[in-house]
Amino acid sequence: MAAAAAAATSSSLTQSFLISKTNNFSIKTHTSNHHHLTFISTALSSPPIRTRSSRAYTIKAASAKTVTENQPSLVEKSVNTIRFLAVDAVEKANSGHPGLPMGCAPLGHILFDEVMNYNPKNPYWFNRDRFVLSAGHGCMLHYALLHLAGYESVKEEDLKNFRQWGSKTPGHPENFVTPGIEVTTGPLGQGIANAVGLALVEKHLASRYNKPGHEIVDHYTYVILGDGCQMEGVSNEACSLAAHWGLEKLIAFYDDNKISIDGDTNIAFTENVDKRFEGLGWHVIWVKNGNSGYDEIREAIEEAKSVNDRPSLIRVSTTIGFGSPNKANSYSAHGSALGAKEVEATRKNLGWAHEPFHVPADVKKHWNRHILEGASVETEWNKNFTEYEKKYKKDATELKAIMNGELPAGWEKALPTYTPEIPGDATRNLSQQCLNNLAKVLPGLIGGSADLASSNMTLLKMYGDFQKNTPAERNVRFGVREHGMGAICNGIAHHTEGLIPYCATFFVFTDYMRAAIRLAALSESRVIFVMTHDSIGLGEDGPTHQPVEHIASFRAMPNILMLRPADGNETAGAYRIAILNTKRPSVLALSRQKLPNLQGTSIEQVEKGGYILSDNSSNNKPDVILIGTGSELELAVKAGDHLRKEGKAVRVVSFVSWELFDEQSDEYKQSVLPSSVSARVSIEAGSTFGWEKIVGTKGKAIGIDRFGASAPAGRIYKEYGITVEAVIEAANKVC
Amino acid sequence: MAAAAAAATSSSLTQSFLISKTNNFSIKTHTSNHHHLTFISTALSSPPIRTRSSRAYTIKAASAKTVTENQPSLVEKSVNTIRFLAVDAVEKANSGHPGLPMGCAPLGHILFDEVMNYNPKNPYWFNRDRFVLSAGHGCMLHYALLHLAGYESVKEEDLKNFRQWGSKTPGHPENFVTPGIEVTTGPLGQGIANAVGLALVEKHLASRYNKPGHEIVDHYTYVILGDGCQMEGVSNEACSLAAHWGLEKLIAFYDDNKISIDGDTNIAFTENVDKRFEGLGWHVIWVKNGNSGYDEIREAIEEAKSVNDRPSLIRVSTTIGFGSPNKANSYSAHGSALGAKEVEATRKNLGWAHEPFHVPADVKKHWNRHILEGASVETEWNKNFTEYEKKYKKDATELKAIMNGELPAGWEKALPTYTPEIPGDATRNLSQQCLNNLAKVLPGLIGGSADLASSNMTLLKMYGDFQKNTPAERNVRFGVREHGMGAICNGIAHHTEGLIPYCATFFVFTDYMRAAIRLAALSESRVIFVMTHDSIGLGEDGPTHQPVEHIASFRAMPNILMLRPADGNETAGAYRIAILNTKRPSVLALSRQKLPNLQGTSIEQVEKGGYILSDNSSNNKPDVILIGTGSELELAVKAGDHLRKEGKAVRVVSFVSWELFDEQSDEYKQSVLPSSVSARVSIEAGSTFGWEKIVGTKGKAIGIDRFGASAPAGRIYKEYGITVEAVIEAANKVC
C-alpha cells in the first residue's frame, strides 16, 4: 500500500483521531561508543540516532528512521494493523481485552519497529532487549507485535486461536507457552517487578563480563504498566529498588489511560504518580499524546536513554480503546470484546476496510526486514563474542555457562556433608554454608534477603553487596520488600537459564510474596526461596511470626518443591534438588533453632522425598512407622529409640519433600510406606492438614492446628504437644 | 521527685543527649468549636491548645500543658521511664526489640500523656483516639505507655512477663490478648493499613451520625511506622487510599531512624519518602529532633491537626536505641537485648539509677491523672450521647447497634431463599443479592472490591461510593490494592464490634493479600472475603487467574472459615455463617459461571459444614457417598442420579465448609460420613490436597493438581476430567 492510500485513510478520521506527522522528529547524535561509527556509516546514509552503547540499537533505530521518514503514513497503517489484530482476535474469542492494545499500539509499534533489538528467529538470543507487558491482560498487543516482527510462535493461526485450548496465545502472556514472551504476567504489578529483575541481571552481568570494545551484555529492558500495576504495592517496592540500584537501562512506560475496571481512575487513584516516582528516584517524562504523538514517544525514549544514573518512567497519556467511537475512553473497552457492531464502527472510524486478521502487504513488507536485521544483529554479536572468547577465555567460559544454563562438572562436590558426631546447628546456618560453598562453583548464584540477611543467614561471604556502584557483587539487599523480592527473582531467573536466584525471609512472610511464588511455580522459574524460622521453634516473636499452615499451603501448590530438611545433609540435599530442578522453584523451610546431625541422613536420599532413616523391623513389616520432617525428625528418632527399647519394631522415615516422594515408583513408595502397615505416626510443627494422605485413616498426625504463641520455643513445643512423649503415646495407640 | 533532682539527672547526661526545655513551646488558639470554650476556661488558667473539634482533646492536651510547663524535667523523667521499662523487659526476657522504644519514647510520651484521648479503665470506650504501633516489634513502647497510663491489662507483673507463655505482653502487639491494643501488628506495613481502616470508620460514622453540637464520633487515629513499614508495598497501597479519601484525622509518625535489621537503610532504602508521600497526597512534616525536640513534636502534631483535607505524615528523625552508649544508632539495638553490661552503661549514660521496672513516684503520680481524666472524658461523652439519643432516637439506636455489635432481631430473614425451579445463577451474583439484602438490615455492613466491583458483584445498589466528600456512603472503592484492602478491612472490623467489612477480588488474588487474611484470622476480625472466579470455571483468563491450591491453603489456616457454596441457598447460608462468626473471618469462594439451584440445599444446613443433600440408601449404609463443593456439587448430584438409575444406593453430600463440619458432634459426622462406608468420591475443581481426610485411603478425590489453562471453561473442565462421567467412573471403581 502506498503512502497516498494511507493519507486517504487518515483523512477519513475524525478530527480528534488525526495522527500527527513524524516530520518534526529530530535526531540527536550523542553516541559515546565511537568504535561503532564506521560500521554504522557504511550501513546507513542518515546519521544514527543516539544510543547508549551498542552497535545493535543504532542499526535498528536508524534503519527504522530511514523508513519512517520516507513513509510516515506507513507507521499509522502499522499501528492500525496492531489495533485491529487485537480487536479481531478478541472478537473471535469473544473474550479478552481490546482496550490496551488499541491505546498502546503507537508505543508498541515504535518499540518493536524502531527501538528494540531482537532476533525473531531466535527469541532466546542472549543480548536481546527485553520487553515486558506488565499490564498482561493487553497481551494481544504483544502477540500482534510478535506476529508482525516474524516470530514463529505467533502465526496468523495463533492469533485466530487466541484464548483457546492448547493455543500459543493464552489469555495472559505466558513465557512457558510462547517464545518471545519473557515472563508470565497478568496478576498486576508482577511484570514491572520482573522487569526490575531483568534489568538487574543486565547491569550485574555487564559489570562482571563486559570488556572495553566487548559489550557482550548490553540491552535495555522495556516495560508497559497500567494503572492497575501502579496501584499494586509490589510495583512500588520493585520501583524503589530499581532507582536505588540505578538501573538506568530500565525504561518503563506507564499507560496512563485514566480507566480501570471499575471506571474512571478518579474513583480510587488520584495520587500524583510523577511525583511518587520522582520520590522513588526515577527520571520521569510525560508524553502528552500517546495516541498519535509518535515523535513525542520517540523523543521520550531518547531522553530516557540519555539518563545514565537512574531508571526512567515515561508516562504516556493514551485513550483506552482508541478508535472505538462508542467505547473508547471507557471501561467497556477494557475487558470484553467490542461486539460486532462496534468493531464495524471502529473499522469505519479508523478507515480500516480490511477483513479480520488482515495485515496489509506494505505493512508486512515493512516489518519483514526485522528477520534479516535481527539475524544480522545476532551475527554481529556472535562475532564480537567470538573475539571476546579468544581474549578472555575464563570470563567467556563462565558467561557461556550462565547463558546455557550448564552446571559445571562436579559442582555437587561443593555441598558439605555431615556425620552425627559434628555438633548440630540450625538449618538456617547450614543453609548459609551451602550457599557459600555453592557460590564458589555456580557463577549464576545471586540473591539475598528482605532485610533479614543476618537472621536468614544468606550472605555470601566472598562477595560484597550488589549496589548501584558495585553491580558486579552478588549479595542483593532487597529491603523489607518480600513481594518485590520474589517478583524480581522471577525476572532474574527468566533472564538467562544459568542464573540461580535465591531470596529469603521468615517462612511466615511467604504470605507477603505468595503471588510471586505462585508465578515462579507457574512460569517455571528456578528460584530458591530460603525460608527460615519455619515454625513455633522461633519462639518469642509469637504467632504473627510463626508459620503454621505454610508448609501445607505450598504442598498444595502445583509445580513447586516444598523441602523441609532435618539436618546438615538434608539441607545440602535440598540445595542439590533445588538447583537440579531447572523448571520449578523450591521452598526451603529452615529452622531458627539448633538441630542435631542425624544418623542415616544423606544428600542423595533427599531426591526420594521420603526415605527410611532407621529400621529394626524385618520383611518390610514394622509395628509402627514414625514419620518426621525438619526439626521434628529428631523427635521421631528419639521416640523410635524409646519404642525399640520397649521391644517394638520401628521404622523412622524422613519425609523431606512430599512432591519428590509422590514422583517415586510405587515399588519404592511401598518399600518405605507399605500399605500393609497402617500404624503410622507423623510429627511436624505445622498444620496436620493433608497428613491423612500419609498416615491414613488409622494413623495419627501430630501437628499444630491453631496459631502459635509468644514464649521461649521449648515451652511452646511442650504446651503444643510437639514432643517425644506425644509420639510415643500415639505410636502405642495406633499399633 | 522534684524538678531539681531531675535537673541534676539531666546534667549528668552527655552533651549529645541533652534534652531541650519545653519553654519555647508556644500555644496557638484556633479552636473552631467555640461552644467548648466555656468549659475549658473554667478548668484551666492557661489558654487551650488548638484542637480540631472536640472538647475532650482540649482537656487532655491543656492539662498536660499545665503540668509540663511547671515541671519540664518530669517529661524527661517520664520518657526515660518508658525507655527503661522497655530495656528492662527485653533484658529480662532476653528477647525483644529495645531500639524503637528507646528512640520513640519522647513521641510516645507526648501522645499518651498530652495528646491522646482515652479512658484507661475502659479500653473499649467507643470514641477513644486510636493508636497503632505499625512497627509492632517495638511493642514494649506501647506496653510501657499502657502501664503508665493505668491500663489494667499491663501491670508491672505483665511487663516482667514480657514474651512469656500466657502473658498479656506477647512479642508483638495482639489485640485479642491485651486490652488497649487496637490491632495485631508485627508483620510490617499492616498497622499503617489497619490505621487507614480505623480512620475510614471514624470519617464514615461521623458523617453518618454526628449532628450539630453532638460530635459523637470524633477521634484521631495515630500510628507509628518504621522504615520496614515504609518499604512494604501494602503501606503504599493503604496510604494512597488514605489521601484519596482525605482522612484528615489520620496522623502517622514515621520513625526515621535510618537503621533496619540489615544495617543502615542506605543499603536498600534511599528513596525520598517525603516526596513520595506528597505524591500520594499527604501533608508532610519533618521533626528534625525526635530524640529531645519535644516542642518540635508538639508543634508538628498541632500542624497536622490543622490540616483539614488530608492525612499527615510526620517524619520524626530519631536515634534507634537512644541512650545506649555503644549500641545506639546501630542495628544491634534493634532486635535483641542490650545485655547486662550495656544496660548498665545506658543507665549511667541517661542518669537512671533505679532498679529494673521502677517507675519513679512523681512519674507515677503525673500519669495517675489519666485515670480520672479518662473517666471524665468518657462521662462527658456519655452525657452528650444521652442528649443525642433523646434528640435523634433512630440514629442513636442504629449507632448503638454498631457500637455494641448487636445484630438486629430477625436480620436473617433478609437472606434470600431459593427453590430448584428458580433459574440458576452464578454464586457471585447470588452473593450480590445477599449483600444488598443484608445492607438494608445491617447498619455496619460496609465494603467493596479491589477494582472488580462489576466482576465480583459487590456493589450495594442503594448506596453511593464512600469518597472524600461522600463519606457516609458504603461502597468502598479500593482500587487494585488487594493487600491494602484486606488490611484496611481488618482495621474497620477492629474499630467497633458491629462493623462488618467485606472485600472482594478474584479468588486467586487472595495470594496478594494473604498476609492480611492471616491477620484477620489471628486477630479475630470478622471480615468477609468475597472471592469470586473461584476455579478453572472462569475460563479464558487462564492459569494466572485460575485458583487451584487456594481452597486447600485456607482450609489449612487456623481460625478462618473457608466456604464454597453451591447455589443460592448455600450462598445465603454462607453469609449467615460469616456474620454470626464474630471472632473469625470467612472466605467465600464464588463462581463466575451459572449454577443451578439444587434440590435439598438450605440456608440452615450450611452451619453443619457438610450435610446430606440426597440419599436413596437405608440404615446409613449407602453403596457410595459422593461429595461435592460449590460448582462441582451439581456434578455429584448428576452422577448420583445416574448411579441410582443403575441401582446403586447413593448418598450425595454437600461439603460447603470443612471447618464447620469438623466442629460437629461425632454422632452427626457419622450420620453423614459413616466410618463403615469407605466407598467415597469427592469432586472439587481445585487441589485434591487434604481430601484424603474425607474420602479415606480407599476413596477417590477428583480435583486439579496442576495449573489451569486458557480456554473456554467447559473445555477446561472436560480436559481436566472434572465431569459427571469421571464421578460415575470413580464411584464404580470404589464400590
How far apart are alpha carbons B497 and B524 in whole angstroms? 11
Q: How many residues does chain B have?
A: 735
Q: Count CA atoms closer than 13 A to B431's CA, side-chain side.
A: 35
In this predicted model, which residue has the larger pLDDT, A260 or B236? B236
Strands B561-563 and B586-589: parallel
- Contact across the interface for B514 and A511, Cβ inside 8 Å: yes
Any bridge partners for residue B266, and if so which? none
Q: What is the pLDDT of residue B71?
A: 55
What's the grid cell of residue A163? 484464548
Question: Which member of B186, B552, B697 has the closest CB to residue A697?
Answer: B697
Which cell goes with A442? Answer: 555456580
Across A74-97, average pLDDT: 98
Predicted local confidence at residue B27, as pLDDT: 33
Closest CA to B588 of B601, B606, B615, B602: B606
CA distance B438 to B515: 28
- B204's CB contacts (< 8 A; 6+ apart) are B446, B466, B471, B472, B474
Q: Is A5 exposed, middle or buried (0-12, 13-18, 19+ CB in 10 A)?
A: middle
Q: How far apart are CA B551 and CA B132, in angstroms?
A: 32
Distance from CA of A84 to the nearest CA of B (A): 20
To test the contact with chain B by mutation, choose from A262, A475, A688 the residue with the greatest count of B C-beta atoms within 10 A, namely: A262
Catalytic residue annotation of B: 482
A190-209 helix and A482-495 helix, angle to the nearest 10 degrees: 60
Smallest CA-to-CA distance from B592 within B415, B422, B430 is with B430
Cβ atoms of A202 and A110 closer than 8 Å: no
Count other C-beta atoms under 10 Å from residue B692's C-beta. Answer: 20
CA distance B150 to chain A (A): 24
Question: In DSSP terms, which residues pair with B224 in a beta bridge?
Answer: B133, B253
* Distance in angstroms (rounded) separating the CA atoms of residues A464 and B573: 58
Question: Which residues in B lie closer than 8 A to residue A189 (C-beta atoms)?
Answer: 480
Model confidence at A72, pLDDT cuts 50, 70, 90, reads: low
B108 in Cβ contact with B100 (< 8 Å): no
| Segment among A71-85, A534-548, B303-317 with least mean pLDDT | A71-85
Q: Name the band, by pLDDT with cuts 50, 70 and 90, for residue A59.
A: very low
Determine whether the interchain pair B172/A710 forms a contact, defined as Cβ–Cβ distance below 8 Å: yes
The answer to whether A555 faces chain B, any CB pair under 8 Å, is: yes
Report percent pLDDT > 90 for chain A: 90
| Candidate from B61-65, B405-409, B436-440, B691-695 with smallest mean pLDDT | B61-65
B195 contact A CB<8A: no
Average pLDDT over residues B42-71: 39
Q: What does each C-alpha distance from B419 to A108, B569, B594 come to in angstroms? A: 52, 8, 15
Cell of A376: 544480522
Chain A segment 114-143 residues within 8 A of B by beta carbon are 136-137
**pLDDT tens column, A488-533:** 999 999 999 999 999 999 999 999 999 999 999 999 999 999 999 9
pLDDT at A154 (0 to 100): 98
Given a cut of 80, is residue B506 above it in pLDDT? yes
Using CB atoms and an 8 Å cut-off, which of residues 668-697 of chain B contact chain A? 687, 689-690, 692-693, 696-697
The residue-averaged pLDDT of A406-418 equals 97
What pLDDT score was predicted for residue A428? 98
Among candidates A233, A265, A518 on the partner chain, residue whose Cβ is nearest the Cβ of B481: A233
Side-chain-side CA neighbours of A442 within 13 Å: the count stands at 29
Alpha carbon A12 to chain centroid distance? 44
Q: Residue A473 region, left (φ>0) first, then alpha (ψ -120 to 50), else beta?
A: beta
Residue-wise DSSP of B50-69: P-SS-HHHHHHHHHHHHHHH
pLDDT, tens only, A351-396: 999 999 999 999 999 999 999 999 999 999 999 999 999 999 999 9
- For residue B63, the model assigns a pLDDT of 43
**Cβ partners under 8 Å of residue B364, min gap 6:** B148
**pLDDT (tens digit per residue) in A304-347:** 999 999 999 999 999 999 999 999 999 999 999 999 999 999 99
The dihedral of CA A708, A710, A712, A716: what is its sign? negative
Instruction: Output the average pLDDT for chain A.
Output: 92
Instruction: Pick the closest to residue A194 from A204, A203, A186, A184 (CA basis).
Output: A184
Mean per-residue pLDDT for B80-103? 98
Measured CA to CA, the distance from residue B323 to residue B346 in angstroms comes to: 6
Helix axes B233-244, B482-495, angle to 10 degrees: 70
A-interface mutation test, from B227, B241, B541, B677, most A Cβ less than 10 A away:
B541
Helix (H) or strand (E) run with residue A297 in it? helix A294-306
Going by C-alpha positions, the residue among B172, B556, B524, B164 that lies closest to residue A703 is: B556
pLDDT, tens digit, 9 for 90 and up, residues B554-598: 999 999 999 999 999 999 999 999 999 999 999 999 999 999 999
pLDDT, residue B72, reads 58
Distance between CA atoms of A672 and A687, rounded to whole angstroms? 23
User: Chain B contact for A453, CB < 8 A?
Assistant: yes
CA–CA distance, A284 with A314 (Å, rounded to integer): 6
Does residue B42 surpass a pLDDT of 60? no
Q: Which of A709, A721, A705 is nearest to A541 (CA)?
A: A709
**pLDDT, position B41:** 28
Given CB atoms, is A663 within the 8 Å cutoff of chain B? no
Q: In what order do the strands lie in the sheet with A586-589?
A: A465-466, A475-477, A445-449, A500-506, A528-532, A586-589, A561-563
d(CA B404, CA B80): 39
Choose the closest CB to B276 out of A93, A280, A539: A280
A244/chain B closest Cα distance in angstroms: 6
Q: How far apart are CA B106 and CA B317, in angstroms?
A: 12
Interface touch B451/A522, C-beta < 8 Å: no
Query: Which DSSP string do the residues of B332-362 spell out, in sequence order?
Result: GGTSS---HHHHHHHHHHTT--PPTT---HH
What residues have CB less than 8 Å from B4, skipping those under 6 apart?
none
The Cα A426–Cα A590 span in angstroms is 8
pLDDT score for B31:
35
ipTM of the prediction = 0.92
Please answer yes or no on whether A542 and B453 come within 8 Å at the CB atom: no
DSSP at B184 = -
Q: Where residue B5 falls among pLDDT bands split at 50, 70, 90?
A: very low
Looking at residue A126, its pLDDT comes to: 98
- Model confidence at A3, pLDDT cuts 50, 70, 90, reads very low
**Separation between Cα atoms, residue B641 and residue A570, nearest integer Å:** 51
CB contact under 8 A, B693 and A692: yes
Q: Which residues contact A108 (CB under 8 A, 6 or more apart)?
A: A82, A101, A141, A142, A144, A145, A224
Interface of B with A in 556-615 (CB under 8 A): 556-559
Question: Distance, in angstroms, between B670 CA and closest chain A CA?
Answer: 14
Residue A648 has what pLDDT? 98
How many other C-beta atoms can be found within 10 angstroms of the C-beta atom of residue A678? 16
Q: Please report the number of interchain residue pairs, chain A to chain B, with beta-carbon separation below 8 angstroms.
A: 364
Chain A nearest C-alpha distance from B234 (Å): 5
Average pLDDT score over residue span A272-293 = 98
Distance in angstroms (rounded) separating the CA atoms of residues A415 and A571: 9
Chain A residues whose beta carbon lies within 8 Å of the beta carbon of residue B585: none
Burial of A644 (0-12, 13-18, 19+ CB in 10 A): middle
The minimum CA-CA distance between B641 and chain A, rounded to whole Å, is 29
Q: In the structure grid, which three cell numbers stand for residue B153, read together?
A: 491489662
Instruction: Mention every residue, 6+ apart, whose C-beta is less than 8 A from residue B41.
Output: none
Please determine, for residue B17, whether its predicted confidence score (pLDDT) is greater than 70: no
Partner B contacted by A221 (CB < 8 A): no
Does A185 reach chain B within 8 Å, measured CB to CB?
Answer: yes
